[in-house]
Structure 1
Amino acid sequence: MAHITFGTSGWRGILCEDFTFENVKIVTQAIADYLKESGEAANGVIVGCDTRFMGKRFTEEAAAVLAGAGIKALLCSRDVPTPVIAFEILRRGAAGGINFTASHNPPEYNGIKFSPSWGGPALPETTRQIERRANEMMGDFCYSELSLEEAKRRNLLEVIDPHCAYLAALEQKVDFDALKTIGKLGLNPLYGTARGYLDAPLKALGIPYAIINDHLDPYFGGQPPEPSEAHIPDFISLVKNDPTIRLGLATDGDADRFGILDADGTYIEPNYIIALLLDYLIRVRKLSGGVARSVATSHFVDAVAKKHGVPVYETPVGFKYIGELIAQDKIVIGGEESAGLTIKGHVPEKDGILACFLVAEMVAREGKTVRELLERMYADVGRFVTRRDNLKLSPELEAAYPAKVAAVPKEIAGAAVTDVSTLDGVKLVLSDGSWMLFRKSGTEPVVRLYGEASSEARLSEVMAAGRSFILG
Structure 2
Amino acid sequence: MIKTVSTTPFQDQKPGTSGLRKKVPVFAQVNYAENFIQSIFDSLEDFAGQTLVIGGDGRYYNREVIQKAIKMAAAAGFGKVMVGQGGILSTPAASNIIRKYKAFGGIILSASHNPGGPTEDFGIKYNIGNGGPAPEKITDAIFARSKVIDTYKIAEVADLDLDAIGTFDVAGMTVEVIDPVADYVELMEQLFDFPSIRALIASGVNVVIDSMGAVTGPYARQILETRLGAPEGSVRNAVPLPDFGGHHPDPNLVHAKELYDDVMSPDGPHFGAASDGDGDRNMIVGKGMFVTPSDSLAIIAANATVAPGYARGIAGIARSMPTSAAADRVAEKLKIGMYETPTGWKFFGNLLDAGKATVCGEESFGTGSDHVREKDGLWAVLFWLNIMAARNESVEEIVKSHWAEYGRNYYSRHDYEEVDSDAANLLIIALRDKLATLPGQSFGALKVATADDFAYHDPIDGSVSKNQGIRILFEGGSRVVFRLSGTGTSGATIRVYVERYEPDASRHAIDTQEALADLIAVADQISDLRKRTGRDKPTVIT
State the TM-score, normalized to the length of structure 1: 0.92
- Change in 2 beyond 3 A, CA 1:272/1:386: same
Q: Matched residues in 2 for 1:74 and 1:283: separation?
A: 34
After TM superposition, the structure 1 = structure 2 runs for residues 420-439 of structure 1, keeping only pairs within 5 Å, are 420-421=451-452, 422-423=454-455, 424-439=468-483
Kindly provide the CA deviation profile for residues 190-239 of structure 1, in whole angstroms up to 9, marking residues without a partner as x: 11111221121233345224221112332223331011110112322443
**Which residue pairs with 2:220 in the alignment?**
198
Q: Which residue is 2:90 aligned to?
A: 81
TM-superposed CA distance for 1:314, in Å, is 0.2
CA offsets per residue over residues 260-290 of structure 1, 9 Å max, x none? 11034x4321111111101001577341311
Question: What is the root-mean-square deviation in Å for CA atoms of aligned residues?
Answer: 2.3
**1:359 aligns to what SS in structure 2?**
helix
> Which amino acid in structure 1 is aligned with residue 66 of structure 2?
T
SS at match of 1:181: helix
Matches within 5 A, 1:215-254: 215-241=239-265, 243=267, 245-254=269-278
Secondary structure in 2 matching 1:63: helix
What aligned pairs does 1:390-469 form with structure 2 within 5 A after superposition?
A: 390-391=415-416, 392=419, 398-399=425-426, 401-408=428-435, 409-410=438-439, 411-413=441-443, 414-421=445-452, 422-423=454-455, 424-441=468-485, 444-454=491-501, 456=512, 457-469=514-526
Deviates most, 440-449 or 119-128: 440-449
Letter aligned with residue 221 of structure 2:
D
Counterpart in the other structure of 1:255: 279
Cα distance change of structure 1 residues 373 and 319 upon mapping to structure 2, 3 Å threshold: same
Residue among 159, 175, 186 paired with 2:193? 175
Answering whether residue 354 of structure 2 is matched by residue 328 of structure 1, we say yes
Contact kept, 8 Å, 2:157 with 2:171, in 1: the verdict is no
1:367 is aligned to 392
Residue type of the alignment partner of 2:298: A
SS class of match (1:373): helix
Quote the residue 1:133 is aligned against. 145
Q: Which residue of 1 aligns with 2:111?
A: 102
Residue in 2 aligned with 1:272? 295
What SS is found at the alignment partner of 1:196? helix
The SS at the match of 2:93 is helix
Contact 2:446 2:474 in 1 (8 A): yes
> How far has the Cα of 1:186 moved from its partner?
0.5
Aligned 8 A contact 1:324 1:348 in 2? no
User: What stretches of structure 1 of length at least 5 have no aligned partner?
Assistant: none
Structure 2 residues not aligned, in runs of 5+? 1-9, 161-167, 456-467, 503-511, 532-542
The residue that corresponds to 1:67 in the other structure is 74
| Matched-pair contact (CA < 8 Å) for 1:152–1:158 | no
Task: Find the aligned partners of 1:448 and 1:412 in 2 and give their Cα distance.
Answer: 23
1:90 aligned to which of 95, 99, 103? 99
Deviation at 1:123, TM superposition (A): 0.8
Q: Taking structure 1 as reference, are residues 234 and 141 closer, same or farther at Cα in structure 2, changes over 3 Å only? A: farther
Change (3 A) 1:336 1:19: farther
Instruction: Show structure 1 runs of 4+ deviating over 6 A.
Output: none
Give, in whole Å, the separation in 2 of the partners of 1:17 and 1:274: 36
What is the DSSP-based 3-state SS (H/G/I as helix, E as strand, rest coil) of the residue aligned with 1:287?
A: coil
Distance 1:449 1:412 in 2: 20
Q: 1:182 & 1:243 partners in 2: Cα distance?
A: 18
AA at the equivalent of 1:363 = M
SS at match of 1:278: helix
Find out whether 1:383 has 2:382 as its counterpart.
no
Which whole-Å CA distance do the structure 1 matches of 2:64 and 2:91 have between them? 18
Deviation at 1:116, TM superposition (A): 0.7
Selected match of 2:60 from 35, 53, 61: 53
Amino acid at match of 1:50: D
Aligned partner of 1:111 in structure 2 is 123
Percent identity, aligned pairs only? Answer: 27
Whether the 8 Å contact between 1:15 and 1:109 is mirrored in structure 2 is yes
Do 1:19 and 1:110's aligned partners in 2 also have CA atoms closer than 8 Å?
Answer: no
Shift of 1:244: 6.7
- In 2 relative to 1, CA 68–230 (structure 1 residues): closer, same or farther, beyond 3 Å? same
Sort the Cα spacing of 1:19 and 1:296 in 2 relative to 1 into closer, same or farther, 3 A: farther
Q: Are positions 1:295 and 2:321 aligned together?
A: yes
In 2 relative to 1, CA 159–222 (structure 1 residues): closer, same or farther, beyond 3 Å? Answer: closer
Q: Distance in 2 between matches of 1:24 and 1:53?
A: 14
Q: Is the 8 A contact 1:65 1:146 kept in 2?
A: no
Distance 1:179 1:441 in 2: 37
Question: Residues 49 and 288 of structure 1: is their aligned pair in 2 closer, same or farther, counting only changes over 3 Å?
Answer: closer
What is the rounded CA distance, in whole Å, between the counterparts of 2:112 and 2:292 in structure 1?
A: 19
Residue-by-residue CA offset, 1:160-200 (whole Å, 9 max, x unaligned) = 22421221121111111111232321011111111221121
Q: Secondary structure of 1:171's partner?
A: helix
Give how far 1:48 is off: 0.5
1:283-325, CA deviations, whole angstroms, 9 ceiling, x for partnerless residues? 7734131100000101111112112222210000001111321
Q: CA contact under 8 A between 1:86 and 1:120: conserved in structure 2? A: yes
- Read off the aligned partner of 2:491 and give its amino acid letter: E
TM-score by length of 2: 0.81
What is the CA–CA distance in structure 2 between the aligned matches of 1:196 and 1:369, rounded to whole Å? 27
Change (3 A) 1:404 1:163: closer
Write the distance in 1 (CA, Å) between the matches of 2:239 and 2:177. Answer: 23
Q: Is this contact kept in 2: 1:12–1:112, CA < 8 A? A: yes
Distance 2:427 2:266 in 1: 51
CA distance in 1, matches of 2:173, 2:492: 48
Q: Match of 1:292, as an amino acid?
A: A
